[in-house]
Structure 1
Amino acid sequence: MHVRPLRAAAAPLLGLALVLTGGTASVAETPAPAPYALDAPVVFAHRGASAYAPENTLAAVDRAAALGVEWVENDVQRTKDGELVVMHDETLERTTNVKEVFPDRSPWRVKDFTAAEIAGLDAGSWYSAAYAGTRVPTLRQFLDRLRGNGQRLLLEIKLPELYPGIEVDVLRTLGRAGWLRPGYVDRRLVVQSFSADSVRTVHALRPDLTTALLGTPAVADLGRYAAFTDRINPWYGGITAEWVAAVHDLQGPHGRPLEVDAWTVDTAAAARKVRDMGVDGLISNRPDLVRDAVAGY
């Protein structure tokens, strides 16, 4: 049985974080959620329910909600004019019609287009004609849809080396959308990245927020990250039960054992295999299949 609190009691906010979010209450006023026990890993819908709808779109969010999946994972990047949009790839080529609309703008990188230009792209036809006209959402649109659906968010800061200062932008948007208030920051939100520096920055700005480092560090190196991350989230095919146990043996910045959410687990057999390794969460394009395989939620 996994005992996995979503969050621990947090340290006081840094002054900068209050400026960024417009907050006035100290984190000490936020009650620490009680630990709870689960018999199975938590299931996250990877880029929304992306096996059933175009990834990282509101349609994928809604599909996850229809499947009863509470946690949604997404990817965030920044446009040329500073808007945060939900997109996985560095370029717009694979999941939009950008080549047709802007044939002379190769290599079609997200950071080279304005928010208005991206908003006009078709982000659904590549997946299915049924989703023609689906748009790339802004982070704010994505957050508002999740709130409306009663869902939770595992947010990945994608390629932060391309977007200096994106951590501040992400926190500002989360704050304006109400996701840094008690009940959200302490229960409904995790921010992750492959960049340890980015995760460290988020933790420094909002020490109350749960963070996750993507990757599979060597056991000898795990302790280097425990000061600023609550979770180590690896590719499921590269881990062992011993590695998971080594992560759990460490305490994170909130004084509780580090957790492990494995990606991208899309078959029943893989889900059961990593469940038996003791992971805390499964990130999946087929969250309903995985949930049913491990009796998760």
Structure 2
Amino acid sequence: MQTSMGRRLVLAAVAAASLGMGLPAQANEFPNRPITLIVPFPAGGPTDRHMRILADIASKHLGQPIIVDNRPGAGGTLGPATVARTAKPDGYTVVQFPMSMLRMAHMQKTAWNPITDFTYIIGVSGYTFGVAVRTDSPYRSFNDYIAAARKRPGKIDYGSTGIGSSPHLLMEELAEKAKVSLNHVPFKGDADLQQALLGGHLAAESGASGWEPHVESGKMRLLVTFGEKRTQRWPDVPTAKELGYGVVSLSPYGLAGPKGMDPAVVQRLHDAFKKAMDDPRHTEVLTQLNQGLWYRSGADYLQWAKDAYAKDKVLIERLGLAANTK
């Protein structure tokens, strides 16, 4: 009996060891080479600035470099779509996941599903949105801009970082509530957008903090922001909510990978980026961009995405931007 019992214990130990060796080859050794972080916006913009600092800090906790790969286009959806279609779920390719991913799938046919084709890793931050004009613009206030749009329906333009982006949709929602028609001009990213506005080719721009250095230098004037309350950095600038337009937008974002990632690898990435989020260098760059923390665990981030996806479907249909699937 003792021999039989001992044999069973040995077999159980061998089985446990075999399982342990089979699973973690990936998780225990991860990462053993550089990780690629795809940023779906151009280099030099606010999202790129944020992600590069965050990646640099997280790389110290992971013990491997994190290489930022800028892949702008399609309103911020090109980079994540590439990850969904081509990246291996091994943790070595992750992507900044903008809210436009939850909207574009309602606006056109896509080869990916924003909920089922991704692994949600961590929620990180959200933007401060605003509308800016050149300092010599005749529009001294946001109400001046809206008044001009009422006088010239469809003639007063604004630029954004793409069709379906948060800056685009929040302006369309506001225009609907203000009962005006605006002319939207999409751009690939902040750099092109800033150049067009500063060059006098646009009346205004709707965007995140890409306009920030130009407002600070006096080249642009900030007319309105879209938070729940006025920003600490620009306390004299009213919110769209207080002006009576009822539009509030944060557009949270985080990090994701392709579907099917090993939960242990996801946890390793989550923990490294969470430590990076708490680092003073990260706090400093968020302050510069006038952004706040928006931490969500992978599970909480996924649930938030499901809720936002359902809510945005209603908004997009109401604005007449839904894809025609007939």
Q: Same fold (TM over 0.5)?
A: no
Higher relative contact order (CA 8 A, sep 6+): 2
Which category describes the TM-score, using the shorter chain as reference length?
under 0.3
Q: TM-score, normalised by structure 1?
A: 0.27
Which of the two has greater helix per residue?
Answer: 2
Structure 2 length-normalised TM: 0.25
